[in-house]
């Protein structure tokens, strides 16, 4: 699982959803460092800013449907930058269409979470994302 010092970016245009996810993460007791953005453009700014401060984001939780720059377009920009090609990225959406999942997978998403976000499901997706991006060496 992601260690306590992990820096996480929550990108969602809904302040309520960001607060809910922030609450779930804080209640995990792991003390993660949380950053937030209200759209994909702002999320990219946070990624760059934290990178420049030598405090890189280590996990992204992003809504699919955001104004200015969608979660999918944000993901594509993240994956097009060498610094973030392997950055764990969990897409969160209120829509559960198989073609949307396929599109996100093709764009390089690490995991996919359907709203409403529940603490147990979020914890499971975090665990899966960690295992996928930090495979055990045999």
Domains of the chain listed by start with CATH number: 7-132 (3.40.50.2300)
Q: How confident is the model at residue 138 (pLDDT cuts 50, 70, 90)?
A: low
pTM of the predicted model as reported, rounded to 2 decimal places: 0.96
Q: How confident is the model at residue 105 (pLDDT cuts 50, 70, 90)?
A: very high
Average pLDDT over residues 66-88: 97
Torsion of CA 130, 13, 55, 121, to 10 degrees: -20
Strands 33-37 and 7-11: parallel
Instruction: Kindly tell me if the per-residue pLDDT of 80 is higher than 80.
Output: yes
Average pLDDT over residues 40-67: 97
């Amino acid at each position: 699982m992601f260690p306590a010092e992990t820096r996480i970016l929550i990108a969602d245009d809904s302040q309520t959803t960001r607060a809910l996810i922030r609450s779930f993460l804080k209640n995990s007791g792991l003390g993660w460092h949380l950053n937030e953005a209200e759209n994909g453009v702002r999320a990219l700014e946070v990624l760059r800013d934290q990178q420049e401060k030598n405090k890189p984001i280590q996990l992204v939780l992003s809504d699919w449907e955001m104004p200015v720059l969608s979660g999918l377009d944000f993901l594509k920009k993240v994956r097009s930058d060498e610094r973030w090609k392997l950055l764990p990225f969990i897409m969160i959406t209120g829509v559960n269409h198989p073609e949307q999942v396929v599109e996100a997978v093709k764009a390089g998403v690490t995991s996919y979470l359907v709203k409403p976000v529940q603490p147990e499901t979020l914890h499971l997706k975090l665990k899966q994302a960690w295992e996928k991006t930090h495979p055990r060496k045999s």
